[in-house]
Structure 1
Amino acid sequence: MLVLGIEAATPVAAVAVVDGERLLAERMVNNRRTHSVNLLPMIKAVLEDAGVGREDLGGIAVSSGPGSFTGLRIGMATAKTLAQVWGLPVVGVGTLDALAHPLTGQGGLICPILNARKDEVYAAVYRTVDGELERLEGPVAVRPGELAGRLERLGLPVTLLGDGVPVYGGFFKQQLGGMVFFAPGSACWPRGAPVAELGYRLLRDGAGKDPFELLPNYIRLSEAEVKWLQKQKG
């Protein structure tokens, strides 16, 4: 099954096409242009790179959060619109799941962290069991100090990755010492290939949705929603 993967939950815009779990083509940019400008040309280009047309696709996978509220909306809207127009099922893939996926098989814990602003990170904790990732905690929005405490209590070496590392890596190193390691910078950004590969597995297992049923996983309320609720209570 050919699957188009779309990642837009972070500052990175990325797309990929897989045939089952075999990567055919992938593109990624980390520039200052909005995802609404980047995504459609990248999707057209990656299909051409893969040598396939939209009629060859069996489904679409999209990063479903947590992440940037604006980026998630753009990515989800793009995936749902294409799925509706092309008559394809669509699935959401957790942003943190997709980040951790390429590190499957690594010993100890794997903990992707995304900068959630407001002195918080989006995080989840995984370990490899029988060749597959098992999620132990998350996804959550949590203060770095609380996350460090949780990781310390688990008592295993942990590899951190994600765009939260440049911001909070020093803090975690100070708190956890020799227990913490960092993935290479090239692994710190979500990619389209893991989204497409995990999406293929979901579609293969019958988890495809009608585009109107797919919703993002924001984890926490947006600033506008918080202010609205405060206004209602007032």
Structure 2
Amino acid sequence: MKILSIDTSTVVATCAILDEEKVLGEFSLNQQVTHSENLIPMIKEMMDGLNLNIKDIDFFAGAVGPGSFTGIRIGIATIKGFAHVTKKKVIGVSTLEGLAFNVPYAKIIIPMIDGRRNRVYTGIYGWEKGKLLSMGNETIIDIDDFLRNLDIGFEKIVFNGDGALKYKEKIMNILKERAIFSPINLNMPRASGIGELAMVKINEGKAVDCYSLVPKYLREAQAQMDLIKRGY
């Protein structure tokens, strides 16, 4: 079973191909370039290097957000296009879940994506019996409000993601030695993680047709919010 997975919901564009328990290839770029310019060439180069055709892929997986609205749309449109042409099923995976998955077997993991204006997209995850579990709803929230209300009963908390890096000083000021920050290689989304999580969901019967894949924005697009403020 081969899975092509992608994540373009942040500034990182990443794609990977997995085959059962192996990562066959992975390609990531962390730069401020429109994902629509890079994604397809990245996928083509990876597949050419593996001597694979798009028809060789059994499932397509993509990060559905939260994150950049434009990036999410590019990723979902790409996955839907591939799935439609090949008549294969798709799997959507939370970007935050994918980030948390980068940190194996930690008791408490808080992935954070910068949401601008002092806000982060975040959630609380933890490993139990070899499985990553969500401990609450994902949200976008003011970083100060989030830290004030964070359960002080957590002894050690692992933070990762660009939001955690941006607000590292604030986190350390409040949580002191209880805050642990991931190594830099675990702070950006990895398509291989999205693919591995997708495998779990496939085995649970959660693959869907391409028409059923929807984004996970968590808030209204800024353009729509601006219109509402102006009374439209």
> 2:147 touches 2:174 (CA, 8 Å); kept in 1?
yes
* Separation in 2, partners of 1:197, 1:52: 19
Structure 2 CA distance, aligned partners of 1:204 and 1:40? 28
Aligned mates of 2:38, 2:128 — CA distance in 1: 37
Which residue number corresponds to residue 188 of structure 1?
187
- How many residue pairs were aligned? 232
1:48 is displaced (CA, Å) by 2.4
Residues 194-203 or 3-12, more deviating: 194-203
Query: What's the counterpart of residue 215 of structure 1?
Result: 214
Deviation at 1:134, TM superposition (A): 1.3
Cα pair 1:126 1:135 within 8 Å, conserved? yes
Aligned counterpart, 1:76? 76
Q: Tell me the TM-score normalized by structure 1.
A: 0.94
Match in the other structure for 1:18: 18
Q: Which residue of 2 aligns with 1:66?
A: 66
Amino acid corresponding to residue 79 of structure 1 in structure 2: I
Superposed counterparts of 1:1-12, under 5 Å: 1-12=1-12
- Contact between 1:112 and 1:125, CA under 8 Å: does it hold in 2? yes
SS in 2 for 1:138: coil
**Partner deviation per Cα, 1:18-53 (whole Å, 9 max, x = no partner):** 012321100001123210011001111222233322
2:155 alignment counterpart: 156
Aligned partner of 1:228: which letter?
Answer: L
Q: Give the 3-state SS of the residue equivalent to 1:147 in structure 2.
A: helix
Whether 1:88 aligns to 2:61 is no
Partner of 2:97: 97
Deviation at 1:66, TM superposition (A): 0.3
Structure 2: any 5+ residue segments left out of the alignment?
none
Contact kept in structure 2, 1:7 and 1:190, CA below 8 Å: yes
- Report how far residue 231 of structure 1 moved: 4.6
Cross-structure match for 1:179: 178
Q: 2-side partners of 1:33 and 1:224: how far apart?
A: 21
Unaligned runs of at least 5 residues, structure 1: none
TM-score between the two structures when normalised by the length of structure 2: 0.94
Is the Cα contact below 8 Å between 2:108 and 2:154 reproduced in 1?
Answer: no
Residue identity opposite 2:36 in structure 1: S
Matches of 1:133 and 1:93 in 2, distance apart? Answer: 13
* Alpha-carbon distance in structure 1 between the residues aligned to 2:48 and 2:209: 26
Q: Which residue of 2 aligns with 1:166?
A: 165
Deviates more, 1:174-183 or 1:51-60: 51-60
Separation in 2, partners of 1:149, 1:49 = 49
Identity rate, percent? 31
What amino acid is the match of 2:182?
Answer: A
Letter aligned with residue 87 of structure 1: K
Q: Provide the alpha-carbon RMSD of the alignment.
A: 1.5
Q: What is the CA–CA distance in structure 2 between the aligned matches of 1:67 and 1:153, rounded to whole Å?
A: 27
CA–CA distance in 2 between the matches of 1:189 and 1:155?
24
1:227 equivalent in structure 2: 226
Structure 1 pair 205/50, CA: closer, same or farther in 2 (3 Å)? farther
